Amino acid sequence: MAHSLLKLKRIYDDPSDEDGQRVLVDRLWPRGLSKKDAKLTDWVKDVAPSPELRKWFGHRPERFADFRERYRQELASNPAVQALLHFDDGLVTLVYGAKDPVHNHAVVLLEFLKALKDRGS
């Protein structure tokens, strides 16, 4: 991912040419959306938080700081992170289904990947 630019987008927002490679990073398929309409390049479901962590967080903003730390710990030992590192060129848009654009796992994942990229991994 050394030459990739990363951004986030909610999967329910219309796909656009500016998305580049669209990668779904949720463990569960988003409700009410067909695979055709999602226009995905890939689906890396195993990079999402563990079911236990996802249930504990419950999209509760007051738990986000703790969630961020716990999810980063999961990511540090998650081999699925490597699946996201194979995108070499251009724009990669991580898409997610959560309603809250600030307090969700994709935000943490983006931070984690950018930190890896900055370290040259």
Orientation angle between helical segments 105-119 and 64-76, nearest 10 degrees: 50
Q: Where are the domains of the chain?
A: 3-119
- Over residues 61-112, the pLDDT tens digits come to 999 999 999 999 999 999 999 888 777 667 899 999 999 999 999 999 999 9
Cβ atoms of residues 105 and 98 within 8 Å? yes
